[in-house]
Amino acid sequence: MNEIWDCVIVGGGAAGLSAALVLGRARRRTLVVDAGEPSNAVSHGIGGLLGHDGRPPAELYADGRRELAKYSVEVRSGEVAEVRRGEVFTVVLGDGSTERARRIVLATGMRYRLPELPGVAELWGDSVFHCPFCHGWEVRDAPVAVLADGARAVHAALMLRGWSADIVLLTGELGDEDRALVEAAGVRVEPRQVAQVRGATGGLEIVLADGAVLPRRGLMVAPSVGQRSGLAEQLGVRFGEPNPLSAEAVWVDEFGRTSVPGVFAAGDVTVQLPQVAAAVAAGSKAAAAVVQSLLADEFGLPVPAWKEDVNV
């Protein structure tokens, strides 16, 4: 029978690799299983990560894997098909092989559901983006547009206002009060329907349904996100209250613990702040909690009680 890992981390993005580094340095036998599909793979660079600002995500992850090589961490390419609960967790990999683990960290990330508009997917991560903290600097003082409806339209337009004074809000759903609020901030509201988005030199062109073309440097959209893996539901962890970004965020406590003892979660899967810097911090915090929970089992280290019955 195979040996028992101290922890199996599902996902090798920012949160997963960060957790693995902390566990490796804590001398914990750790396996990272990575499907190799980070949600920011298409991004031109990471914005706002200290020491790595503007760096391509693939470079960061490759260096992270190299750092782990000197610790008791194995990184394996593949998928986790199932995790079974028991005295220890049984992890079933995509090839049918199994591993056993004392703890699980879900760092599977989320899948972005983009607006169904021609051209958005092709330009996603470059001139089409969703996070002003990640991409706002690149479109500073440039003509930009926001595509959203309702409360998210107001929030996105006013957030982006901190980077540019030339903003067009593309929306067909805006009440009088909301319209007055964004217009008072200098945002122009364009109610005509958008037909497509296409790339152009120095940015993109937004083609309206009547054929009018609106040249912009960038377009901020308001996607929703959903679980890219069924493991959270399979394990029976609780999900948080639905929010405008997602109805599928895994609930975690202040230590990154889910409602299922032994299962932790970090990064976009919890949809607390979908940024690389936040994912790195969350992975580190969850891993520290994993170590402490293992020490509690081994030596009686006092740790806060696990919150299994959570009203969310």
Going by pLDDT thresholds of 50, 70 and 90, the confidence category of residue 173 is confident
According to CATH, the superfamily of the domain at 115-221 is FAD/NAD(P)-binding domain (3.50.50.60)
Measured CA to CA, the distance from residue 238 to residue 227 in angstroms comes to 13
40 vs 106, higher pLDDT: 106
Contact 249, 265 (CB under 8 A): no
Average pLDDT rounded to a whole number, residues 133-140: 93
Mean pLDDT calculated for residue range 80-85: 96
Which homologous superfamily does the CATH classification assign to the domain defined by 4-112+224-299?
Answer: FAD/NAD(P)-binding domain (3.50.50.60)
Is 50 exceeded by the pLDDT of residue 71? yes
pLDDT of residue 2: 67
Mean pLDDT of 19-37: 96
pLDDT at 309: 60
3-state helix, strand, coil in the chain (%, to 5): 30, 25, 45
pLDDT at position 67 over 50: yes
pLDDT of residue 312: 42
Instruction: Report residue 61's pLDDT band, with 50, 70 and 90 as the boundaries.
Output: very high
Question: From CA 307, how far away is CA 312, in angstroms rounded?
Answer: 12
Going by pLDDT thresholds of 50, 70 and 90, the confidence category of residue 44 is confident
Asked if residue 224 has pLDDT above 90, the reply is no
Mean pLDDT value across residues 24-44 = 90
Q: Is the pLDDT assigned to residue 297 strictly greater than 60?
A: yes
Q: How far is CA 42 from CA 14, 156, 160, 203, 222, in A?
A: 15, 22, 22, 16, 17
Q: What is the DSSP string of 133-166?
A: HHHTGGGTTS-EEEE--HHHHHHHHHHHTTT-S-
Could you give the CA distance from residue 286 to residue 176 in angstroms, rounded to a whole number? 44
- pLDDT category at 70 given cuts 50, 70, 90 is very high
pLDDT at position 212 over 90: yes
Tens of pLDDT, residue by residue over 250-296, are: 999 999 999 999 999 999 999 766 789 999 999 999 999 999 999 99
* 242 confidence band (pLDDT: 50, 70, 90): confident
The highest-confidence range among 27-41, 224-238, 272-286, 290-304, by mean pLDDT, is 290-304
Residue 181 above 70 pLDDT?
yes
Q: Provide the percentage of residues in the chain whose pLDDT is more than 90.
A: 80
pLDDT of residue 255: 97
Lowest mean pLDDT among 91-105, 197-211, 297-311: 297-311
Cβ contacts of 105 within 8 Å, gap of 6 or more: 7, 8, 9, 10, 16, 19, 256, 263, 264, 265, 266, 283, 286, 287, 290
pLDDT at 310 over 60: no
The pLDDT value recorded for residue 273 is: 67
For position 243, what pLDDT does the model report? 77
pLDDT over 70 at 113, yes or no? yes
Residue 52 has pLDDT above 90, yes or no: yes
User: Is pLDDT at 1 greater than 50 in this prediction?
Assistant: no
Region 246-252: mean pLDDT is 89
Q: In whole numbers, what is the pLDDT of the chain averaged over residues? A: 93
Residue extent(s) of CATH 3.50.50.60 domains in the chain: 4-112+224-299, 115-221
